[in-house]
Structure 1
Amino acid sequence: MLTIICGEDSIASRNYFLNQQKIFTEKGYEIVNIDYRLVLELDESEASSASLFTKKRIYFTSNLNKKVLKKLNVKTEKKIKDIITSNEIRLFDWEEETSARDLKSIKEIVIKELKPSQTIFKLLDSCYPGNLKQFITILKTISESTEDIFIFIMLARHMRNILITKLGERLPKLMSWQIAKLSNQAKYWKQENLINFYQGLHRIDVNSKTNRTPYSIKESLDILACYYLS
């Protein structure tokens, strides 16, 4: 059995992945973390063998979709399908910042997708000059239930895409309606201010990782927004 844990909310998906390890440990299973390169070597007899202290083995890996499933040949695809249909092998895979639609489509894979709340997208759409009040209000609301680091990651990624669009460069992985939406939001920004805002996000990232600021990520975003979105 293969379960893929994924979603744009990488923090929530990672926590879910780790929580599965905790749940199965409490049930008496042996947790085995393996490199994705070793997944094709999994054996039913080894997976089902019990020790003095545990029932069976549960395997956990990451990047299986990116590194293995999207590069299958006839032989390796058969092995993956054997794992999927096996009653003895149980494998969990974590895919960071990957939507279910981007996964390799193979029947009977169990997919657990952790999606961001719709409020985060409202926050991203509200990030433009002249819209300070709405941005601050949404940021305050969402920070009560969402980790600051996830809010920051989503905002930084979004503003990077707006900047790329503003500079006239292509975003090949996005659909036409997404690019049109970014272009519309980019019109509110002067290019210089947009570059400075994005550089401000970079400084927040560096300062938070090096403890160079007394402010939290959320407080730093408040300050940056007050300067550029008023």
Structure 2
Amino acid sequence: MMILIHGEDISLSRKKLMEEITASQDAEVIRLEAIKTTKEEVVLACETRSMLNPQKILVLDNLFKGIISKERNDIITYLLNIKEGIDLYFWEDRELEKVKINKYLGKIKAYKFQYPSSLFNFLDSIGAENRTSLIRRFHELLRQIDAELIFYMIIRQWRNLITVKDVGVTGMEPMPVWQAGKFARQANYFSLENLILNYRQLLAIDYKIKTSSTPYSLTKLLDIFLLSL
């Protein structure tokens, strides 16, 4: 059996993976980080059998992430030719492109966990819309997801905006060109100095929340941040 679990919402995808693993209570579970793993290690993990746990589960993290090296291509070829005796789970910390799914996995059973599109609409609107509209979008989004996730995604967005502003679209590889171009267009609403200043404000918010050194909630602090843009 082979199963792909992927998508941007890694919290839900990890939960699904654990549900799948715990459903096979007697199985031996081996989990490998693909980027750090050799084909020999994968073969050893697959072909070594335990007398106490004849059923085996192998979880490969991020096997298809980025450019597929020859080593990882060899691992994929080997795994796809295993006939029986092991359940394979491919876990990816982002959505796996359909091109890669079709090329390497074909019609595999897959679970995809994505954030709501309203989250990305909100993130993309930063800089392009006025403060009133931005605050409205923010509070509408709070009805769907937690402030903590929104905060994390704002920080991630800012890192991408700073990077593309500093090094340009080509410096964003292996990010797809269309996605890097979208960040570049959004970054045009800010100077590099302002982006760095804003990022420091986000880090200050993170510190205050973690150290409980503010009387304000995270939602209130994000309101203040968004109004300052």
Shorter-chain TM-score tier: 0.7 to 0.9
2:95 aligns to what? 99
Measured in 1, the distance between the counterparts of 2:72 and 2:92 equals 21
Distance 1:30 1:126, change over 3 A: same
1:1-230 equivalences under 5 Å are 1-22=1-22, 24-25=23-24, 28-30=25-27, 32-36=29-33, 37=37, 38-43=41-46, 46=49, 56-66=55-65, 70-72=69-71, 76-83=75-82, 86-96=83-93, 98-101=94-97, 105-108=103-106, 109-128=108-127, 131-167=130-166, 169=168, 170-228=171-229
Task: Spell out, residue by residue over 1:156-189, the C-alpha distance to the aligned partner (whole angstroms, 9 max, x if none).
Answer: 2222222233345332334444344333323332
Measured in 2, the distance between the counterparts of 1:64 and 1:30 equals 22
Instruction: Give the AA of the match of 1:72.
Output: E
Contact persistence 1:5–1:112 (CA under 8 A) = yes
TM-score, scaled to structure 1: 0.73
Instruction: Give the AA of the match of 1:116.
Output: Y
Which of 160-169 and 87-96 deviates more?
A: 160-169
Task: Spell out, residue by residue over 1:56-114, the C-alpha distance to the aligned partner (whole angstroms, 9 max, x if none).
Answer: 444445344459x744378644431233xx34311223222x22118574134443222
Task: Spell out, residue by residue over 1:124-143, the C-alpha distance to the aligned partner (whole angstroms, 9 max, x if none).
Answer: 11212762222222222222
Contact persistence 1:11–1:150 (CA under 8 A) = no
Task: Give structure 2 stretches of 5+ with no counterpart.
Answer: none
Which of 199-208 and 71-80 deviates more?
A: 71-80
Count of residue pairs brought into register by the alignment: 217
RMSD of equivalent CA atoms: 3.4
TM-score, scaled to structure 2: 0.73
